[in-house]
Amino acid sequence: MEAFSSIECFVRSAEVGSFAEAARQLGLTPAAVGKSVAKLETRVGVRLFQRSTRRLTLTEAGRLFLAEVSDSLQTIQNAVSSLSTVQGRPAGTLKVSMGTLFGCLYIVPMLGAFLQRYPDIQPDWHFDNRQVDLIGQGFDAAIGGGFELPQGVVARRLSPAHRVLVASPTYLAAQPPIRDPEDLQRCRGILIRSPQTGRIRSWQLTGRTGGVRPLELKASMTMSDSEAACIAATQDLGLALVSMPFAVNYLRSGALQRVLPDWYVDDGYTSIYYAEHKMLPGKTRAFVDFVIEQFAEQGLAQTFSAL
């Protein structure tokens, strides 16, 4: 077990480039992690890291050793996790990342039913609108859209990620009819600025019956969040391009209306992400299957489709 712990400290330190960060993720002290790695180096007879005051760097031997042991370590950890059950039920801490509002609106309401089915799982849910390093930061799963798929991570689609144009009835009543994408040029736009890059993306509108047109909507203001854009639009401030999951309740209440309902922005899919393993931990498998089941039962894929 001591050798296993040393290898775990080495792999985690190599992934994050720091004894301190590895210690935080493993629930140890930096000194304990450093001592464990030093013992491993003594045991194998080679130096695995070049140490500096700022960062750890793998030696050539360290890179070779990491390539040999990292997959095997993950397989053993998953096997242990799968055995970590109570009377055959999935158990353990479930660390998941999801967007703040999307999670609160659609995933957290599933929590009661999930825990009723799996009472021995302890949720550790993180709400962030940025993509996380699923493996490096020790997450069991993440839910979101538009993520780059790093090596070793797989995705299961949950729903389309469509964006739609919305505005308040009062704003629309004061405008000439908007019948064609070209009519958007004379409207005030409430556009979304990427929280990652700070830029306003150039969008393409997709027609219900086919065809693609550029979205030519001048920004009178920008937001970094679809919910904020919806709230601004309810104040008669212009047309907002927002993600469908956030527009749904406003459209149902009549506070906002679709503009050009035969046109939408196709932004890929909202998916659930998790590390690809031969033996997926029982708690992760339970969560992934449950969320997919709930999306199907609640018809959320159809709800979030702009078609």
Residue 122, domain CATH? 3.40.190.10
- 106 and 73, same structural domain? no
- 292 and 192, same structural domain? no
- 263 and 122, same structural domain? no
- 55 and 7, same structural domain? yes
Residue with tokens 């798929």: 149
Contact criterion met (CB below 8 Å) for 265 and 206: yes
- 167 and 140, same structural domain? no
- 103 and 17, same structural domain? no
- 197 and 131, same structural domain? no
Helix (H, G, I), strand (E, B) or coil at 125: strand
How many domains, the chain?
3
- 281 and 145, same structural domain? yes
- 239 and 140, same structural domain? no
Which CATH number do you get for residue 8? 1.10.10.10
Q: How high is the pLDDT of residue 12?
A: 85
Burial classification of residue 18, based on how many CB atoms lie within 10 Å of its CB (0-12 exposed, 13-18 middle, 19 or more buried): middle
Q: How far, in whole angstroms, is CA 200 from its chain's centroid?
A: 20
Phi, psi for 236 (deg, rounded to 5): 65, 35
Contact criterion met (CB below 8 Å) for 140 and 262: no
- 4 and 100, same structural domain? no
Which structural domain range is residue 177 located in? 160-268
Which CATH number do you get for residue 168? 3.40.190.290
The residue type at 226: S
Which of 85, 105, 138 is the C-terminal boundary of a domain?
Answer: 85
Q: Distance (Å, rounded) from C-alpha 70 to C-alpha 72?
A: 6
Nearest to 240 by CA among 226, 252, 253: 226
Strands (E), 139-290: 141-145, 153-167, 189-192, 204-207, 212-214, 219-223, 239-243, 257-259, 263-275
pLDDT in tens, the chain (307 residues): 567 788 888 888 888 888 888 888 777 888 889 899 998 999 888 999 988 767 788 999 888 888 888 777 766 666 665 555 555 678 889 999 999 999 999 999 999 999 999 999 999 999 988 888 887 788 899 999 877 777 778 899 999 999 999 999 999 999 999 999 999 999 999 998 876 677 787 889 999 988 999 999 988 999 888 999 999 999 999 999 999 999 999 999 999 999 999 999 999 999 999 987 656 788 999 999 999 999 999 999 999 999 8
Q: Which of the 8 DSSP states describes residue 146?
A: S
pTM of the model: 0.73
- 104 and 66, same structural domain? no
Instruction: Please report how the helices 226-234 and 244-253 are oriented relative to each other, as an axis angle in degrees rounded to 10.
Output: 30
Burial classification of residue 241, based on how many CB atoms lie within 10 Å of its CB (0-12 exposed, 13-18 middle, 19 or more buried): buried
